[in-house]
Homo-oligomer: A and B are copies of this chain.
Amino acid sequence: MSTSTSPSPPPPPPPETAPSPTRRELNKAATRQAISDSTLELLRSKGPGKFTVEDIAEAAGISRRTFFNYFSSTETAIASVTHGFLDTALQQFRLRPADEPILESARAALVELADPMSVAPMAELFSLTQASPLLARSELEAWDHCTEQIIAAARERAAHSPAGDMDELYLRALAGSVISCGKAAMEVWFSRCGTDLSPKSLAILRQLLIDSMGLLGSGFAAPHSSERS
């Protein structure tokens, strides 16, 4: 599509995030982004399930066949947003010191998500997902994928740690619970604040994430109802 008539792009690659700024990969990333953007735009304008792959291809200026070279379905294209969001959390998790309790690492990683840049796409996705089982399922897949990643990260951490072996049940149950609590916090936040991204709203999200990890760490002790934040 673009980049056909550029007279002279300087040969040495400027220091970008990509370690291989070759023209091909750059172009490919651009196309991928264009598809993702067009998909999201159609999602906004027409609503979920109300547009076809051909519509996306046309909006992105590519052929239908090319779309499938990048994503295996519209769901996949949409899920890339969620994956990006959760990968951010994963990244944060991996940065935590290995001797820190997993719950604390998770808490720290999740709190990092309460950031306009990160949550903005997710909040929008949430609002669109509400009335669409089609989207809900790809969301589920994304969360599950993240769970697996956390298990892998935690297992790797355990291997480096002196205390060594964590058993499989502990690992999977904890990872799954952490994700469930993070998800619960997101859901409650969205039901209260919608797509509001103001500092106040984000503070609420942050607190919800902290609270959910607190519940998990205390074994969901007392529902009671008196403590209000």
Which residues does A use to contact B, with CB under 8 Å? 102-103, 136-137, 140-141, 144, 147, 158, 163-170, 172-177, 179-181, 183-185, 187-188, 191, 208, 211-212, 215-220, 223-226
Contacts and interface: CB of A to CB of B under 8 A. Distances in A.
A180 B147 CA distance: 10
A208 to B, nearest CB: 6
Contacts of A212: 169, 173
A18 to B, nearest CB: 28
9 nearest A-B residue pairs (beta carbon)? A176-B180, A172-B184, A177-B177, A219-B219, A173-B184, A173-B181, A140-B140, A217-B219, A166-B223
Contacts of A177: 176-177, 180-181, 216, 220
Contacts of A179: 180
21 contacts: A103-B219, A103-B220, A136-B144, A137-B137, A163-B223, A165-B225, A166-B223, A167-B223, A168-B191, A169-B185, A169-B188, A169-B211, A169-B212, A172-B184, A172-B188, A174-B220, A176-B184, A177-B216, A177-B220, A217-B220, A219-B219
